[in-house]
């Protein structure tokens, strides 16, 4: 119950923030703001595990990392909600037709990410963990694939039209990828 309250609170606060930005700055690229919010929430699901491996003493000292790890499913579902809103707004703004093969190729990274996020969101519940058992963990390892798809997506789609949000999104997504690779190297060395 506590996790659901956290999830609802996160979504509510960010939709209020998004609506405020939308009405205060009407010419802002609202879809990309939602996309960056999705990236921030996605990073909040990834960072605790990385911190736990790379900086174990820091992880033990800070309650926030344990709290983020505990509520990671709800934070991930929040990221999924924002990702779908980001996608829906851009599909509407650009009148995209995904029945056209060229459009699917052009937006391959976005489609891949949203499919992975959808699978993760659908299986982010206790019932799925119980039914899928070991396969649940394998399915949720797909999230790490998104770590490499998202920088590609951001760089490809924002090429030549960077906004004030783009450098932040690029740095965050590439940093997460590099930290993940570092984490994996450390885990392999420890085995």
Tell me which residue has tokens 């309250």: 5
pLDDT of residue 31: 83
Task: Tell me the residue range of the domain where 66 lies.
Answer: 3-190
Instruction: Give helix then strand counts, H and E, for the chain.
Output: 11, 0
Per residue in 31-70, pLDDT tens? 888 899 999 999 999 998 888 888 888 777 777 877 888 8
* Most confident residue range from 61-70, 92-101, 145-154: 145-154
Position 25 confidence tier, pLDDT thresholds 50, 70, 90: low
- What is the count of structural domains for the chain? 1
Per residue in 104-128, pLDDT tens? 899 999 999 999 999 999 998 888 8
Coil vs helix vs strand at 125? coil
The answer to whether 53 and 183 are in contact (CB under 8 A) is yes
Supply the angle between the helices 143-157 and 166-190 in degrees, to the nearest 10.
Answer: 150
Task: Report the distance separating Cα 85 and Cα 68, nearest Å.
Answer: 23
Task: Report the distance separating Cα 122 and Cα 143, nearest Å.
Answer: 13
Where do the H-state alpha helices sit in 100-141?
101-106, 108-122, 126-132, 134-140
Number of other residues whose CB lies within 10 A of the CB of residue 136: 15
Task: Report the distance separating Cα 96 and Cα 93, nearest Å.
Answer: 8
The stretch 18-41 carries a mean pLDDT of: 78
């Amino acid at each position: 119950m506590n996790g659901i309250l956290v999830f609802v609170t996160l979504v509510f606060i960010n939709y209020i923030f998004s609506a405020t930005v939308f009405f205060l700055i009407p010419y802002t690229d609202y879809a990309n703001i939602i996309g960056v919010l999705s990236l921030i929430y996605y990073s909040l699901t990834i960072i605790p595990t990385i911190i736990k491996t790379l900086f174990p003493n820091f992880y033990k000292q800070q309650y926030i990392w344990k709290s983020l790890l505990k509520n990671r499913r709800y934070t991930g579902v929040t990221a999924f909600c924002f990702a779908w809103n980001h996608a829906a707004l851009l599909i509407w703004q650009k009148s995209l037709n995904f029945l056209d093969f060229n459009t699917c190729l052009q937006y391959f990274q976005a489609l891949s990410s949203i499919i992975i996020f959808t699978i993760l969101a659908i299986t982010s519940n206790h019932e799925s963990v119980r039914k899928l058992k070991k396969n649940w963990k394998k399915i949720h390892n797909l999230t790490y694939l998104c770590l490499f798809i998202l920088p590609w997506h951001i760089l490809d789609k924002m090429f030549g039209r960077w906004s004030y949000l783009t450098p932040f999104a690029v740095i965050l997504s590439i940093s997460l990828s590099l930290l993940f690779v570092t984490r994996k190297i450390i885990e392999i060395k420890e085995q």
